[in-house]
Amino acid sequence: MNIIWFRTDIRLDDNPALEAAIKDSLANNRAVKALFISTPEQWKKHDRAAIQVDFLERHVQLVADKLTAHGIEFELAHCKDFSEQVELIVELCQRDNVVGLYANAELEINEVKRDERVRDQLLGTEFFTFEADVVASKGEVRNKQGEMYKVFTPFKREWLSVVINQGFALADSKRALIEYQSSDLANGDIKSPDIVFEADKVDSSAWPLVTELRTELVPDFYQKIARYGEDRDIPSINGTSKLSPYLAIGAVSPKRLVFQLMHNVPNILDNQSVAEFAWLNQIIWRDFYRHLLFHFPALCKHNNFNDKYDRLDWPNNPFLFKAWKEGKTGYPIVDAAMRQLVQTGWMHNRLRMIVASFLTKHLLIDWRLGEAFFAQHLIDYDLANNNGGWQWAAGTGCDAQPYFRIFNPITQSQKFDPEGTFIRSYLPELKNFSNKDIHFPHKVLKAEKSNVYWPAIVEHKTARENALDFYKSSEK
């Protein structure tokens, strides 16, 4: 028997581990079994959001149903953490006389160490892993010295060169499934299990299953992608792809998305001036952060990429942190964004930059606390992206925003939500304020002696000066 072990790759399309497991089974006349192992305590240790757990559960059920329909048994197992996972895998492979264990590799350091322990402890079973989470293979995009780029723009140039010259292939896992279903190995009598995780969950049904995404949302997005560069920074309109939750759990393949983009815009890799390149640029950023984690695994331990900032002694005022988490900073764009996060499990990308900058540079709170809070709430949480984004905002990371660049939340609000449409959707108490006053309504509130909205917890100019002094301390 062969086992395909699903982890952060909850899909049948472009799944190299699934394809390889089936091909070997067909060639050697042995059955395939699928496996997913839930690890609630490990998820808690990693601050995994309850809404993402629910989203994952729904997609594991989808994959289980589809594999069962193709005659492949699906088993759901439960463990506390990765240590138990290793023990279970070894025991299961011995019990079922497993010849080949197939999985798509995971990037994070604990997951890498877990797989190393599995490989060391397996007897009589070969463990095959494949790369399925990036477009350009990790380790292939290097500078002339053979090292990982530490600045995004030259990484992008080399990424494009690698993809153009080497290309990339999609795993034909769907065809393999069809071949398996028509073979004598398929088991037509099995039933799909009920997938239930014994873990904290928050309803994710506002996000459709990936099957609906592929048939409705993705084609629609490719029709409007030419406006992505103009629309993606405006949180009040539906200008982003909303694909990040699916990428985060591996329900969508990044290669498939780029392949489809190349089909729609054939010259996209050679012409950065085309409007659609703005979206491809985001896929390249995603690869950049994943390549960084591959080359610098210590980032998984929440280390500053630039170690000179280890000298920073963050004040971490608990009152200010609580106000930020609850959306009570007195800066409407920040508060509306935090409400969006807590209420929906998602936050617009421009707003992520604004609130991260505000936390680290206005409130002088360690980026790691903000990163953890995002992890606990985001349906699209991904360690590489979240770590990279937070360190960019804090100025501590690779190719980061310089510490002296400090977003003014009022001007950011005026620029990206000029009519206050987004603010009003999450701060209804400000709905009657004018488009001019809604971005910082405190003069009006003071004149009217109104308390419908909380006061600003810091003053921008003073906070900016404090931040500059604070960051300069790392230079001494």
Buried b (16+ CB within 10 A) or exposed e, 15-49: bbbbbbbbbbbeeeeebbbbbbbbbbebbbebbbb
Residues 60-86 pLDDT 10s: 999 999 999 999 999 999 999 999 999
DSSP-H helix ranges across 298-403: 318-325, 332-344, 349-357, 367-377, 383-394
Any idea which residue has 């009022």 for tokens? 410
- Asked if residue 164 belongs to a known ligand binding site, the reply is no
- Asked if residue 381 belongs to a known ligand binding site, the reply is yes
- Asked if residue 426 belongs to a known ligand binding site, the reply is no
Residue 1 to residue 193: CA distance in whole angstroms:
20
- Whole-prediction pTM: 0.95
**Segment 194-198 mean pLDDT:** 97
Cβ-proximal residues to 184 (8 Å cutoff; 6+ apart), any chain: none
Domain boundaries, the chain: 2-131, 133-170+210-295, 307-475
Q: Do domains 2-131 and 133-170+210-295 have the same CATH topology?
A: no
pLDDT band at 287 (very low <50, low <70, confident <90, very high): very high
The pLDDT, as a whole number, for residue 71 is 97
The third-level CATH classification (topology) of the domain covering 307-475 is DNA Cyclobutane Dipyrimidine Photolyase, subunit A; domain 3 (1.10.579)
- Asked if residue 240 belongs to a known ligand binding site, the reply is yes
- Asked if residue 243 belongs to a known ligand binding site, the reply is yes
> Average model confidence (pLDDT) for the chain?
94
Closest among 413, 409, 391, 411 to 400, alpha carbons compared: 391
- Asked if residue 228 belongs to a known ligand binding site, the reply is yes
The pLDDT, as a whole number, for residue 225 is 80
Residues 34, 253, 266: CA angle, nearest 5 degrees: 145
- Asked if residue 180 belongs to a known ligand binding site, the reply is no
- Asked if residue 37 belongs to a known ligand binding site, the reply is no
- Asked if residue 279 belongs to a known ligand binding site, the reply is yes
**Segment 114-127 mean pLDDT:** 96
Percent of the chain surpassing pLDDT 90: 88
Q: Classify domain 133-170+210-295 by CATH number.
A: 1.25.40.80
- Asked if residue 285 belongs to a known ligand binding site, the reply is yes
Instruction: Work out the number of other CB atoms within 10 angstroms of the CB of residue 253.
Output: 23
- Asked if residue 283 belongs to a known ligand binding site, the reply is yes
**Segment 183-202 mean pLDDT:** 96
In CATH terms, the superfamily for domain 2-131 is HUPs (3.40.50.620)
Inform me whether the pLDDT recorded for 212 exceeds 90: no
Q: Token digits for 474?
A: 């790392």
